[in-house]
Every structure is written in structure tokens, then in C-alpha cells.
Amino acid sequence: MFLRRFCAGLAAALCVACGTAPEGQAPTRSAAAGGTLVVSTLADIDTVNDLISSGAIQARDVERLLLLQLARENSDFEQGPATYGPRLAERWEWSEDRLALTFHLREATWSDGVPITAEDVRWTWEAQTHPDVAWRARRSKKSIRDVEVIDSRTVRFHFTESYPNQLEDANRGVVLPRHAWGELPFSEWRRSGAWFAERMVSSGPFVLEEWRPGQEIVLRRNERYYKAGAPLLDRLVFLVIPEKPAQISQILGGSIDYVQVIPPDQIERIEAHADTELDAYWGRQFDYLCWNARRPPLDDPAVRRALTQATDRQAIVDSIYRGYARVGVTGILSSTWAFDATLEPWPYDRGAADAALAAAGFADVDGDGVLERDGERLAFELIVQNGNRVHQDAATLIQAQLARAGVELQQRPLEFQTWVDKVKAGEFDVAIGGWEIPSSLDMGFAFHSDEIGNFNFGGYRNADLDAVLEAANRAAETDERRRLLHQVQAILHHDQPYTFLWEPQKLNARRRRVRDSRPNALTSFYNIDEWRIEER
């Protein structure tokens, strides 16, 4: 197991050193360029407009290939707060009081030849903050009081206060094409998802050639991309294949080239096949059981802790991930710079769980093996995404483990979008899911009370946590921010709004003909400009 991980890391290091083009420098387009790369996806996108999309990884992957941000985040948040490099903006500078951030845009055009300007940036901010648009990440813009157009290629963000995440907040979200989408009132956006695809223009490496809902998304090389000669691929096709076994069969059969999130029990098949390789690396993900804190008895932290201690997470990790994951602690990943190493996962402890549930008033009065209190059985429905084999297998193990503690858990598989609708509406008892955390380590999106009805699925409220989250986002010094983030972790560890199941490695499979790919914790498609097809 160690040898496999060492080899994967060595291969990634060698790839970085093998002469691929750095950011800002176009790869040379040669006779080796061209071809079509076929990628599988479990779910279709719902729109090409980032501001009204579901926020699912599938949608984000496609959106970031079509539209760019002002800056590009570097993959270094494990060592310290994230840093950024140029993207649509060539450079930027701060005012002395750090209340103004000025971006200087590169000379670039949309895929239809219209120049990308500061007016696009300002209009994007207006859309991001408009209540009718109701963007899922609008909280990131709350301290930006204005976006000022200085000239066609200069735009200035004005802040109400100075804090560490200002650049990240200004950069959050892609820049949208005002000339193509500006005619539709913001009040109509949420009812007009398909409208944006019909008027899609791109700033990214690809343009939208065809979208057949439920079947495929076909992207074509953007001939007006600001990097001359890039991308090297002619086309990138996302095939919607809702079942992971079918994805595995197709990559082994050679009909698709790239599969993200390989089930751990399929690793040996990928590694043994002559034409496929496995990319394994630590990502930004943690998986969880979200308890609906609006519903008794899940509103009691002691009950949630007991349910965590009745769950043998290490046994699940060993059984399902086979060494490619570690038990979760708080959601701020153990690989990040601000992780509190003094905290350890709650141990599997049936005795402690039984005692806590008894102290909360639960007992098996009728001897049927299920605890009850005041005539109410300790029984929950667990919703799980259909087609997510890892989560479905884990749910089965968790169901059996909790049954031994007198807790009845019934699984309910749902299609992905139905699952999303249910959790956002709070219409569930328990949900199993996964998050990719932001590099800022701001966990407010999932746990701040202001996010109830958005991504705080469980309706969890803790005024102390709200205050510490806000203070951490204002802290100017890294050491002070680390101290506050340790407090965030301590509260989450104590309250267990989630049972933090595990932190998995990213396991992607590719055919050997896919060359120069360097996936990382930010995205599988980080250096997509440089990917190429090499027929042997």
C-alpha cells in the first residue's frame, strides 16, 4: 500500500519536472495535439450559469472549463493560506489601508470576439449579490461595498473592512459575459437555466458545442482563448453515466478515457489493466452523516455524539477504502495548515454510546431491540444518493452498527438532484454526503446559522460558533487565525452536527493515452490546457 502511494507521489513530482508549460505560458501546439477526450460524469449539469447552478462538482467542473475567474488559486493551501496567480487579471495591487483592491485585466476576448472588460466584472458582482439571483456563495461578497470601473481593463473592489480572505472573496465565482447575458433581468434567471446555454460565450479553454441533457456535454477548443496554442485537445466530452460500475466497464473497454472517483474495490482492476492507470492523491474532501438538528432528539449534541460513538468509522474505512482514506475529525482536514492535531476522532465506544443514550432517557422498553423515549422509537431515515456506491455501502454498514446500539436506520436512495432538493429544504432525518472544503477553511457555508436554508443542511445553530467563524475570517495574522480555527474545530468536535466519517484520497482512473494530466486537490482538470492524447 505504501509503495503504491509512494509511486503515485513520485509520478506526480516527475510530471511537474518534465517540461510542461507554466501558468501564463502557452504549451506548444504540435502534431501531437488534437483529439477528443471522453470523461464520465455521474450527473448532468443543470445550467452553464454558475450563479444559479446546484454547485455540484459536476457542474463546477464544466463551468470552470468555459468561464474563468480573475485569478487562479495555487494548490498550496496545505502549507498555509492559499496564494493566487494571474488568470483574467494580469496583476493586482492593494491600497495602503487594504480597503481597495485593483485588478488589471489582460487583453482577452470572449469566444465571439467581444473584448472582456471591467464592465463584465462589475456586472458579475451585481448579479452575484442580487437577491433575485440568490447565488449559493453570495456570503463571500458581503464585505464588498462596490466594484468600480476605472477603465475598460481596470476594475477596483472596495471593501467595508480589511480581513485575510479579501482576495479570495473578490475572486470567488467566474466572470460572466454581460453582452451575452445582460438582457435577461435578474428576476428571470432562476426560471431560465437553458437560456444561458443558448447564448453561451466562453473565456475559458473550451466553448460549448452541444449539450444533450441527460446524455452528454460536448466542449470544443476555444480558438480565441487568451493562451495562444492552448488547449491541446480538440474536444472534451462529458458522458452522463449515472452508475459507477458502468463507468468502470467503459474505461476498461476503451470507450471513455477518464473516470473520477474510482470506488476503492475497483482499484485492483484499474491497476491490473494494461491500458489504464490510477491517480491517487489527497484532496479537499470529507464525507459525513448530517443530522437534522431541527428534529428531536437530533437537536441534542449529546445524542449526536452518542450516535457518532456507536459508529465504527475505522472499520468502515478499512472495509471500503482499503487504506486510501482516514477517519475524519472536524471537517477542517488533517492535511491542512490549520488542523488542530490535539483533537482525535471520537472513538468507537459502544459502552459510552449506550450510557449517553440512557442518560438522555432512551431505553428498550418493549424488548424489540430498538430504544425509545416517551413512546417514540429511536428511528431515522437515511437518505443516500443513488449511484454513489461508496455511500450506499457505507450506509449499509452504518445501519448494522447503529442497530446493535438500538437505533433503527432505514435507507432511502434518491437521485442526485432529489437528494439536493431534500437536504436544502431540511426534509430528512439523516443524510450521507461529502464536501470539498474551501481553501480559506471558512466552514461557515456548512455550519453558520446564516446558511440555514442554503448549505447548512442540518439547520445547526450555535451562536458561539457563528462568532468564532466570523472572527477567524477577520483575523489578519496567520497565527491568530489558526488559534480561532482551532476553536471552530473544538466546537464542531463537541457538538457533532455531522458525524465526520472520513477524509478520502482522490482516486481517478485514466487511459494511458491521456498524457500530461496533473490533477490536484483543487480539481482533476487543473492543467487541462496541457492535456494531450498520445496514441501508441
DSSP string covering 227-279: STT--S-SEEEEEE---HHHHHHHHHHTS-SEESS--GGGHHHHHHSTTEEEE
Query: For residue 22, what pLDDT is reported?
Result: 45
Q: Averaging pLDDT over each range in 69-83, 129-143, 175-189, 318-332, which range is the top one?
A: 175-189
For CATH 3.90.76.10, list the domain ranges present in the chain: 68-191
Q: How far apart are CA 222 and CA 316, in angstroms?
A: 44
- Calculate mean pLDDT across residues 59-68: 93
Q: Which residues contact 402 (CB under 8 A, 6 or more apart)?
A: 307, 310, 311, 408, 409
Query: For residue 139, what pLDDT is reported?
Result: 86
Domain range 285-504, CATH architecture:
Roll (3.10)
Out of 48-52, 72-76, 344-348, least confident range = 72-76
- Calculate mean pLDDT across residues 66-87: 91
pLDDT grade for 438, boundaries at 50, 70 and 90: confident
pLDDT grade for 15, boundaries at 50, 70 and 90: very low
Share of the chain above pLDDT 90, in %: 79
Query: For residue 395, what pLDDT is reported?
Result: 98
355: phi then psi, degrees, rounded to nearest 5: -65, -40
Give me 163's grid cell: 480581513
The sign of the CA dihedral 258, 264, 266, 271 is positive
Count the Cβ atoms, other than its own, within 10 Å of residue 269.
Answer: 17
Diameter of the chain by CA atoms? 76
Q: Which residues contact 338 (CB under 8 A, 6 or more apart)?
A: 332, 441, 481, 482, 485, 486
Q: How far apart are CA 359 and CA 282, in angstroms?
A: 39
Query: For residue 508, what pLDDT is reported?
Result: 95
Q: 80 vs 108, which has greater pLDDT?
A: 108
- Calculate mean pLDDT across residues 290-314: 98
Query: For residue 158, what pLDDT is reported?
Result: 98
pLDDT grade for 388, boundaries at 50, 70 and 90: confident
pLDDT grade for 30, boundaries at 50, 70 and 90: low
What b-and-e string marks burial along 494-523, b requiring 16 or more CB atoms within 10 Å of the CB?
Answer: ebbbbbbbbbbbbbbbbbeebebbbbbbbb
Q: Looking at the domain 68-191, which fold is it?
A: Dipeptide-binding Protein; domain 1 (3.90.76)
For CATH 3.40.190.10, list the domain ranges present in the chain: 1-66+204-257+513-536
- Three-state DSSP at 430 gives strand
Query: For residue 21, what pLDDT is reported?
Result: 44
Query: For residue 183, what pLDDT is reported?
Result: 97
Query: For residue 5, what pLDDT is reported?
Result: 35
Query: For residue 28, what pLDDT is reported?
Result: 56
For the cut 70, the answer to whether the pLDDT of residue 65 exceeds it is yes
Query: For residue 387, what pLDDT is reported?
Result: 79
List strand residue ranges (DSSP E) for 122-225, in order.
144-151, 154-159, 206-212, 216-221
CA distances from 123 to 120, 127, 457 (A): 5, 6, 30
Give me 336's grid cell: 491542512
- Calculate mean pLDDT across residues 101-110: 98
* Structural contact between residues 166 and 101, judged by C-beta atoms closer than 8 angstroms: yes
Query: For residue 43, what pLDDT is reported?
Result: 86
For the cut 80, the answer to whether the pLDDT of residue 454 exceeds it is yes
Q: 417 vs 110, which has greater pLDDT?
A: 110
Q: What is the mean pLDDT of the chain?
A: 91
Q: Looking at the domain 1-66+204-257+513-536, which fold is it?
A: D-Maltodextrin-Binding Protein; domain 2 (3.40.190)
Q: How far apart are CA 172 and CA 73, in angstroms?
A: 10
Q: Please, which residues bridge with residue 282 across strands?
A: 505
pLDDT grade for 24, boundaries at 50, 70 and 90: very low
- Calculate mean pLDDT across residues 367-392: 94
* Structural contact between residues 505 and 390, judged by C-beta atoms closer than 8 angstroms: no
For CATH 3.10.105.10, list the domain ranges present in the chain: 285-504
